Amino acid sequence: MPNGRTGIMAGMHALLSGFAPIWVLTGIGYAVGHGGLLGEQAEAVLGRFVFHVAMPAALFTLVSKASPDVFGGPAMVAFAASTAVAAGLGFVLVRRVFGRDRAGAAIGAMASGHVNSANLGIPVAVQVLGDASFVAQVILFQVLVLSPVILTLLDSGTRGGGDGEPGARRGGGVRRMLTMPVRNPIILASMLGVAVSAAGLRPPAALTHPCEVLGAAAVPTALITLGLSLHRGPGGGGGSRRGRAETAAVVAVKTLGQPLVALLVAGPLLGLSDGRLLAVVLCAALPTAQNSFIYAREYGLDAGPARDAIVASTLVSMVTLSAAAWALGGG
């Protein structure tokens, strides 16, 4: 019994430790916005800094150090299946039921299936699972597979990154789609990282250390930016009944639908062991990543729905993560 109680307390400590930076940094951003300390353009400037500078540095550092064969195994198949179902369902709901255009639906898909694997997934995995090896695979899957798909939908459904024209259409054509990887800093940094990893190169510390330092600013700055946006209040109908219904639908898909699909695929279909099953379900139950808010801002879309989904799913996941860890034997 003491061991069980110790495990439960350790799991709760991991959850609180993981959630604390989210709430503290978002709260700081809100306070800064309320006080007008950084001026009216702070949210836009910080958002662009994250998208164009800090996040590419973080992704290059992460991917360049990864092993090329990192995606093997049925556990990754189960997680990928849960992501595909959740993101696909989110896209259809937001587009067909709530009437968003393709770019808005792409953000809905991301909010439904892109998990907060870095600043929340890692501390939870280390404490509940004992290591973060599977979370590292999840991060790379989202960077190299999910994000390029979402960014392609955004690029094809808007006038271009960050031009401030919500929902504007692009003529672009095939040529623009083919050149998007070299125009988008997120995808370009990821591709460069893959090339370095595949070639077995080890860049000098004079290059990697500045990237690590710069990349470390991505998550805290994104959370500060999220807090700044909360000071403006609900956006995009977020305060209306329809806006609340959209947020509730996306959060339900993210916090309930995705882990349930992961449980069904990893358990009855693939027959994973208890440890692997717990890892897949826990990662699928993580809340929406702040990347969806940053992407929406950068592409000139209404970022209110993504912001609301992040805040609401983070609150709900405090319960669902605890329930998943308890039901599947975490700790």
Full 3-state SS string of the chain: CHHHHHHHHHHHHHHHHHHHHHHHHHHHHHHHHHHCCCCCCHHHHHHHHHHHHHHHHHHHHHHHCCCCCCCCCHHHHHHHHHHHHHHHHHHHHHHHHCCCCHHHHHHHHHHHHCECHHHHHHHHHHHHCCCCHHHHHHHHHHHHHHHHHHHHHHHHHCCCCCCCCCCCCCCCHHHHHHHHHHHCHHHHHHHHHHHHHHCCCCCCHHHHHHHHHHHCCHHHHHHHHHHHHHCCCCCCCCCCHHHHHHHHHHHHHHHHHHHHHHHHHHHHHCCCCHHHHHHHHHHHCCCECCHHHHHHHHCCCCCHHHHHHHHHHHHHHHHHHHHHHHHCCCC
Q: Phi and psi for 142 in degrees, rounded to 5? A: -70, -35
Q: Please work out, in degrees rounded to the nearest 5, the angle formed at the alpha carbon of residue 165 by the alpha carbons of 155 and 310.
A: 70
b/e per residue, 209-238, with b = 16+ CB within 10 A?
A: eebbebbebbbbbbbbbbbbbbeeebbbbb
pLDDT exceeds cutoff 60 at 11: no
At 160 the pLDDT is 47
Instruction: Note the pLDDT tens digit of each residue in 174-212.
Output: 566 666 666 788 888 888 988 898 888 888 888 889 999
Comparing 319 with 247, the larger pLDDT belongs to 247
Instruction: Note the pLDDT tens digit of each residue in 225-262.
Output: 988 888 766 555 556 788 899 999 999 999 999 999 99
Q: Please work out, in degrees rounded to the nearest 5, the angle formed at the alpha carbon of residue 79 by the alpha carbons of 76 and 85.
A: 140
* Of 2-16, 77-91, 201-215, 216-230, the least confident: 2-16
pLDDT exceeds cutoff 60 at 163: no
Q: Whose CA is closest to 284, among 130, 128, 115?
A: 115
At 69 the pLDDT is 64
How many percent of the chain have pLDDT more than 90? Answer: 36
Q: Phi and psi for 115 in degrees, rounded to 5? A: -90, 155
- Ramachandran sector of residue 36 (left: φ over 0; alpha: ψ -120 to 50; beta: rest): left
Instruction: Note the pLDDT tens digit of each residue in 27-52.
Output: 999 999 988 888 888 988 999 999 99
pLDDT exceeds cutoff 90 at 275: no
* CA dist 306 → 70, 226, 249, 314, 320 (Å): 30, 10, 12, 12, 20
pLDDT exceeds cutoff 50 at 171: no
How far from chain centre, in Å, is Cα 10?
A: 25
Q: Please work out, in degrees rounded to the nearest 5, the angle formed at the alpha carbon of residue 147 by the alpha carbons of 141 and 148.
A: 105
The structure's pTM equals: 0.79
